Structures are given as C-alpha cells and as structure tokens.
Structure 1
Amino acid sequence: MAAEGIPLRSTIIDDPCKYLHITLNPDGTLTRSPNAFPTTSPDVSSTATLLSKDVPINPAKSTWARIFLPKPPPLHPNKLPLLHYFHGGGFILGSPDLAMFHEFCSNVAAELPVLLVSAGYRLAPEHRLPAAYDDGMEALRWVKTVQDDWLRDHADFSNCFIMGSSAGGNMAYHVGLRAAQETDDLSPLKIKGLILHQPFFGGVQRVQSELRLTNDPFFPPCVSDLMWELCLPVSANRDHTYCNPTAGEDSFSVLEEMGALGWRVLVIGCDGDQMIDRQMELVKMMEKGIKVEGRFGAGGFHGLELVDSSKAKSLNLVLQNFIWSDSS
C-alpha cells in the first residue's frame, strides 16, 4: 500500500537519466532540471517554531550549511546535542535547501531536540569522490571554528553525532572513518557516534535484495548503477571501498579505533530498499570492531521517511532514543 500522499508507481524505469531529470553532457558534466526538485528558504522569522539559517563554509567551493535551531532554545537545561547531517542524492543531486531535506531536518531538530547542521558538498560527476568526503571533513572542522552564535550558545560540542540519508549515509560512514583518525584535530568537537539512514552502498555482483527489487519503481538498481558510474573515481568499479566497504579489510583497523573511542553506530533500513542486503552486510562487518545496531523494518522503500510524515515520526523516536540515551 502506498504511503499517504505518495502515488503508486507501476512503470519499469528504462531511462535512469529521464527518471532523475538529468542530461549527460559531452564534456562529462550534468544538466540538472531546476524544476524537478523544489527548494525552500530558511526561516528566521519571529513566529517560526523552528529557526533555520544558511551559513557559508568554503565560498571557493560554493559549499555551505543550513543550521536548524529548535525554538525556544533549548528545552533542556544543558546545551543541545549537535547533529551533523549529510543529504542524499546519489552524490550527483541534492543540496541542504531541497524542500524534502529541509522539512526532514526541521522535524528531526524540533522533535529530538538537537541543533542540526545540514552541510552541503560538491556533486559528481563534476567533482567525483572523494571530493564529497573532503567537503564533509572540512564541514566538521568548520563547525568547531566558525564564529556562529547558534553553535556557540546552544550546541554541545562534546556530544556530536554524524548522520546521513542514502548517499549522506555513505558520507557519514566514510567521513566517520576519517574523523576517527583526527579526533585530536577536531577537538573540542567530540563525536559520539554515526547514524546511517538507508545508506547508499553497492558492489559489482548483484546481491539478493537487488535482484528481488530489480524493477522497484522508487529506486531500482539501474538508477544506482548510473549514480555510481558518475560519482566513483574514473576507472574504479563498484567494489571500490567508497561503494563497497565490505569488499576488503582496509577500514577494519579504523573501525577498531572507533570502538576504542566508544563510538556507537546505528544503521537504519527496510526490506523494500534494494540495498538492504548491503546494509546488513555492513552491520556484520562493523560488529567485529564497534558497537553497532541494525534497525531493519518490513516493507517501505528507499527514502520513505523523507516523504511520509508518519514514518518520519517513528524514525525520530528511534533517533531520539539513540542520541539522548548517551547524553548526560
């Protein structure tokens, strides 16, 4: 049954570019339809129930962040946990001001509550991986140094979590690996854990969930194939560690470092997502070196909580328990 307000789709996707509203150009760039994904402005009005504003990170790269602050701030006697969020879009689409990401982050910030920083990053194929990971780390360093009154007055830098949805979940994982090796440089920012919401992973060989959902009308493997083709380093295949971290053991020592730091990881997915088997494999790998929890539900589809408010509320309860259970 379709979620409320979400139309059922029955057609098989035979043109991923058309589905994503993009055109591949001869010079290797993309033309993205400006009307396909509506954007929204931040809200700093006095009547807003949650405040948001945009702040530049690196003007030379055109990277920036949207910060979300519950109002009145904060409801708790201490400062709010800091949630550093990365949006989805297969590394080729998206920005913090997309309406679906703005609404999702607004609800998370208000209901948990947390101070949420939604950090943008450069997109592929104009900027292939690891450019997005580089921008993610730069955003973490920016958070601890930027002279911003919301962060200064309301964010608990000693209680930080990195979260992302879809490609943002992949970002949270790989940025987390880097951050675990730079804990001293990131001080006073103290990361407590990672939240991978339907993280975007893949591999050369199809897994069972990808075969089962090969004609999924929301996010079939043919669409993710195109995204990986456009975002991975030139000549890399989908068993590259950026796409398939379970293909090798190159990150295991860093996972042990995360475990020694006391980090926790939450991986969230559903069996209506073609990548659920990938996500479950990642949980099994991470269990060897770190405290990780997999929350996998029945039904649904990729990106469900971004478009279904009732499912978003259920997700927020899971996030609230995960973040606030470790807050002092």
Structure 2
Amino acid sequence: MSTKTTSSNLSVNPMGLYQAALNPDGTLNRDHFMIPVTSATPNPSSPASPVLSKDVPINPSHNTWARIFLPHRAPPSCSEEKLPLIVYYHGGGFILYSAASTIFHEFCVTLAHELSAVIVSVEYRLAPEHRLPLAYDDAVEALHWVKTAQDEWLAGHADLSTCYLMGTSAGGNLAFHAGLRTSTSPDDLEPLKIQGLILHHPFFSGIQRTPSELRLANDQMLPLVKADFMWELTLPLGVTRDHVYCNPMVDGVSKILEGVEKMRSLGWRLLVIGCDGDPLIDRMVEFAKMLQEKGVSVVTDFTEGGYHGIEVRDPDKSKPLVQTLKAFLSTTVTG
C-alpha cells in the first residue's frame, strides 16, 4: 500500500465519502464503505484454519458480542496448562468496522496462532449513534462478562489470571480507558486479572497540531481531515478535541492520574506500538513519556516508515509485531 502523503496523490477524497455517508438524522450509513466481513469458524472438525472462532452474545440489548479465537491445537480442556487471554478492541475511528470485519478477524487469527493465546475480540457500539463514553462502557462490560462467562472455550482454555487488554487505533484508546476504569477497582474483576495493556497505534488527538500531524496532514491512510471528522462524530456533543477521551495530555492529565497511579501500583506493564509514517506518532511518543514520568512501566516499539495500523492491513508486516508481542508477554508473565 502506498504511503505517499501529498494531497495530489490522493486518488479519493476521504471527506467526500464520509460526508456522503452521513444521513440527515445524523446517523452513519456504513454501506457506503463496503467493509468485508468474515464469518466465525467454530467447527473443530475442519483443520484448514489454525484457529477456531465463534461469536457469543455479551449484552443483547446493546447488540454487543464477542468473537472468541482459540488455537486449533490448544491444550485439552482437562489440562492444567491454560493459555494467556487477550481482550482485543478493533479500530475504525470509533465509527467503523466490527469484530467480524475481515482485516480484524484475520489479525486476531494471527495473534491467537502466533502467540498461543485465547483472543476475545469485542463488538462495541459505534458513534455517531452511540457517542463516547458508551464504547468505554461496553469495553468494561465485556471484561465483567469474561470473568463470569460459562463459555467452554474460556473456561477450559483461558488463564483468566493472565489477561491483557489490547487494541488497534480507536481500540488502543479503548484499551487504555478501559484499563483506567478497571485499575481503580481491580477486585471487581476477580478472577480476571489484568497484567498489562498493549496499545497498537492508539488513536488520540488534540486541538494543537503536533509536528508529525503537520508533516503528514495529507497522509493517505489517516489525513487530518478524516481523523478530525471521526472525533467530531465520536466525542460528546459540545466538547473539543482537548477532552480527556481524545487528548489525555491536556486536561486529562489530572483526570487520569488516579488510574495511572493504580496501574503503576498494580505492576501493570504497557506496550505502546507505532511508526513514524503515522501522523499520530508524536502523540504516541508524548503519551508514553508521560506514563513513564508517572512511574508506569512502559515498553515502546516505534519503527520507521509504515502507516497507521499497517500490521492489520498488511499481514506481511505483522511478523516483527508478533516478535515484539512475544517478548512483551513473556517478560510480563515471568517478570
């Protein structure tokens, strides 16, 4: 995929597509985006896939559910050997995509297979129909569902005491805010025990532009106008991009301090992943530095080139990420 960044290289005006998808009542017509989806593959008699998957409801009244991914050769459910659990939140600027979207389905298959982990990919409510903080509510509700779920895959194969929250783009933002909420009352999640957060190209913004945002203002994957539009549809009505949901570096510092301090005291480790071809890279660097200054154990993996969410859209680029995740998870478990 091209990473050209000048406006003359944009073959499609992203704002034209997004504006056309807005209905008069303020809802979003997602049919405009023609997003491919993949069905779950729960049948263990089919060895074609290295990973099994199935969909399980969380809260039918909110139409939230989880797609669970289980390595095909997981230890028998009677075995004492269980697999680490990763609760994953998909990306899409809070307005697009699903746990069933092909790019996120395939990414979770890769994670489950390569990391030998059980993945629970959460279907949360999207904006503008459901503005923040409703997606955060769904993210946390999913964790409470996991801790009590009677699902045989979770009960038989997932080690609830070794749980990580992971998300890509908007999902990275979700994982962080879900972590903030749950860190202040971790006993409420027992026997689920969070060990750390994995923020993959986390989606943050703010009013004041960063140098990387200005340098990559017309980036093909995430131009500023597209990111701003997503936040306009996502944030509570009447607030700016310096709201804590969007920008934890402004008024959010004091508001998130309690949660960050709890992360530190609980011994959580955070992994922040990004690349310098992403307009958001400066925010990721500043965010990770802020957490480190608060005493949180933070590992960073910032690479050259690339683009926002590259490992999800280009599977060939996921191999270095897998190695980074393996190293992080093994250190977290044994450290």
TM-score class, shorter: over 0.9
Partner of 1:65: 66
Given candidates 16, 21, 27, the residue that maps to 1:29 is 27
Is contact 2:275-2:304 (8 Å) kept?
yes
Given candidates 231, 235, 254, the residue that maps to 2:234 is 231
Alignment map for 1:213-228 (pairs within 5 Å): 213-228=216-231
CA deviation vs aligned residue, 1:206-252 (integer Å, no higher than 9, x gap): 11110000111111111000000000000010000000001132112
Is contact 1:166-1:197 (8 Å) kept?
yes
Is contact 1:283-1:292 (8 Å) kept?
yes
Cα deviation for residue 306 of structure 1 reads 0.8
Residue 72 of structure 1 aligns to which amino acid in structure 2? R
Residue 154 of structure 1 aligns to which amino acid in structure 2? H
Q: Which moved more, 1:273-282 or 1:32-41?
A: 32-41
Stretches of structure 2 lacking an aligned partner (at least 5 in a row): none
Partner of 2:199: 196
Structure 1 residues 155 and 290: alpha-carbon distance in aligned structure 2, compared to 1, 3 A threshold: same
Q: Distance in 2 between matches of 1:294 and 1:273?
A: 15
CA deviation vs aligned residue, 1:66-95 (integer Å, no higher than 9, x gap): 000001113997210000000000000111
Partner of 2:262: 257
Residue 71 of structure 1 aligns to which amino acid in structure 2? H
Cα deviation for residue 34 of structure 1 reads 6.3
1:137 aligns with 2:143: no
Cα deviation for residue 132 of structure 1 reads 0.1
Q: Distance in 1 between matches of 2:184 and 2:16?
A: 38
Given candidates 35, 38, 41, the residue that maps to 2:36 is 38
Q: Distance in 2 between matches of 1:298 and 1:77?
A: 42
CA deviation vs aligned residue, 1:168-205 (integer Å, no higher than 9, x gap): 00000000000101201100000000000000000011
Cα deviation for residue 324 of structure 1 reads 2.2
* TM score, norm. by length of structure 1: 0.94
Alignment map for 1:83-232 (pairs within 5 Å): 83-232=86-235
Cα deviation for residue 308 of structure 1 reads 1.6
Alignment coverage as a number of residue pairs:
322
Partner of 1:6: none
Cα deviation for residue 21 of structure 1 reads 8.5
Residue 23 of structure 2 aligns to which amino acid in structure 1? N
Q: Secondary structure at the match of 1:245?
A: coil
Is contact 2:183-2:262 (8 Å) kept?
yes
Q: Distance in 1 between matches of 2:22 and 2:153?
A: 40
Residue 320 of structure 2 aligns to which amino acid in structure 1? S
Cα deviation for residue 13 of structure 1 reads 5.5
Cα deviation for residue 269 of structure 1 reads 0.1
Partner of 1:326: 332
Alignment map for 1:272-287 (pairs within 5 Å): 272-287=277-292
* TM score, norm. by length of structure 2: 0.92
Cα deviation for residue 2 of structure 1 reads 4.2
Residue 185 of structure 2 aligns to which amino acid in structure 1? E
Cα deviation for residue 12 of structure 1 reads 6.4
Cα deviation for residue 35 of structure 1 reads 6.0
Q: Secondary structure at the match of 2:174?
A: helix
Residue 160 of structure 1 aligns to which amino acid in structure 2? C
Is contact 1:198-1:267 (8 Å) kept?
yes
Cα deviation for residue 17 of structure 1 reads 4.6
Q: Distance in 1 between matches of 2:20 and 2:290?
A: 35
Alignment map for 1:307-322 (pairs within 5 Å): 307-322=313-328
Q: Distance in 2 between matches of 1:21 and 1:72?
A: 46
Is contact 2:66-2:123 (8 Å) kept?
yes
Residue 56 of structure 1 aligns to which amino acid in structure 2? P
Q: Which moved more, 1:213-222 or 1:226-235?
A: 213-222
Q: Which has the higher helix share?
A: 2
Residue 295 of structure 1 aligns to which amino acid in structure 2? D
Given candidates 281, 301, 308, the residue that maps to 2:307 is 301
Q: Distance in 2 between matches of 1:14 and 1:105?
A: 30
Q: Secondary structure at the match of 1:33?
A: helix
Q: Distance in 1 between matches of 2:20 and 2:81?
A: 45
Cα deviation for residue 49 of structure 1 reads 1.9
Cα deviation for residue 307 of structure 1 reads 1.8
Residue 30 of structure 1 aligns to which amino acid in structure 2? L
Percentage identity across paired residues of the two chains: 53
Q: Distance in 2 between matches of 1:263 and 1:38?
A: 35
Q: How well do the aligned residues superpose, as a CA RMSD in angstroms? A: 1.8
